[in-house]
Amino acid sequence: MSPVLVATTPDDTAVPLGPTLSIFDPVYIGIDEFGHPVTVPLIYRNLLIGGEPGSGKSALLNAVVAHAALSLDCRLCLLDAKRVELGQWRRCADAFVGPSLPDALALLSRLQIMMDRRYDYLEECERRKVVPDDRYITPYLIALDEFAYYSATVGKKAQREEFSELLRDLVARGRAAGIIVVAATQRPSSDIIPTSLRDLFAWRFAGRCTTDSSSDIVLGHGKAQQGWTANTISPTNPGAGLLIAEGGTPQLVKVAYLDDATCAAIARYAATLRNTVASKPQPRVAA
């Protein structure tokens, strides 16, 4: 039987805590058009989320981050230029970057170093990837809301390019080292999501897009012609979108929505869990 986790309140009362999740579990993200639950495995994968403003990208991001926050075998790094979309999870995260490109660069550089060291370790142990209950490697979820802010909006050109290169490297090489990137943008255009970057994301979600071509930029070339376009999703149906995950065929999904109060409650609970249960002896990425 797994041990009962107990938290201590300020007046020293022991409060039993419920079970936790694992980042190796499939992540519940919503329902399909028949009302069936939709889950996606995220370990060893990355997820790209695109769609017009208000299409429900942050809602999906929050559903994924909620699962990761409740997974004590996962650490979090959050980048959110608006600060309020992912801000409620701040106390669960090793690092939280707001609207600062230098901070974003510093964080991604450190993650890149950590990734390289993890591969040194895996090579030394003659292993290929992180596994459940890994003694020394804890998976990291890197969640970015509106990554175009860092890759195309602020700072100098060289800094933006450095950001894009670092992000691309983490997406391309991070999976076996337990680094999961979930990145959202409201600008599904070819300059923000070039094909070479898009194709590195095994899982993709397109919320409502204003054109067939912007939907294709998220889902893949030719999908609109095959009848899969997020342009047909009603603007009055936020959270609905086309998901490409296992199987490769797009699937219509309505994302589970966590309102502010629910998010805050889950985040508080997850932070309590994280403070209560000793984490693995591994240096933190954040300063």
Annotated binding site for ATP: 51-58
Please enumerate, as own/partner, the contacts of 224-232 that have beta carbons within 8 Å and a separation of 24 or more: 230/51, 230/206
257 interacts with ligand ATP by CB under 6 A: yes
Closest-approach residue to ligand ATP (CB): 239
**Could you say which residues in the range 64-103 bind ligand ATP, by CB under 6 A?**
none
Query: How many residues bind ligand ATP, per CB under 6 A?
Result: 15
Q: Which is nearer to ligand ATP, 137 or 183 (CB)?
A: 183
Please enumerate, as own/partner, the contacts of 107-113 that have beta carbons within 8 Å and a separation of 24 or more: 107/77, 107/79, 107/285, 107/286, 108/163, 108/166, 108/167, 108/170, 109/166, 110/285, 110/286, 111/77, 111/140, 111/142, 111/166, 111/170, 111/174, 111/179, 111/285, 112/166, 112/169, 112/170
| Options 50, 57, 96, 198; binder of ligand ATP; rule CB under 6 A | 57
Q: Which is nearer to ligand ATP, 86 or 137 (CB)?
A: 86
Query: What letter would DSSP give residue 34?
Result: T
| Options 29, 46, 47, 56; binder of ligand ATP; rule CB under 6 A | 56
Strand partners, 255: 30
The closest of 136, 76, 72, 140 to 279, measured between CA atoms, is 72
- To the nearest whole angstrom, how small is the minimum distance from the Cβ of residue 127 to ligand ATP? 38
**Could you say which residues in the range 145-204 bind ligand ATP, by CB under 6 A?**
186
| Options 29, 48, 51, 183; binder of ligand ATP; rule CB under 6 A | 51
- What distance in Å separates the CA atoms of residue 273 and residue 216, rounded to the nearest whole number? 40
- To the nearest whole angstrom, how small is the minimum distance from the Cβ of residue 104 to ligand ATP? 17
**Could you say which residues in the range 233-252 bind ligand ATP, by CB under 6 A?**
238-239
Q: Catalog residues that contact ligand ATP under the rule CB under 6 A.
A: 51, 53-59, 186, 207, 238-239, 254-255, 257
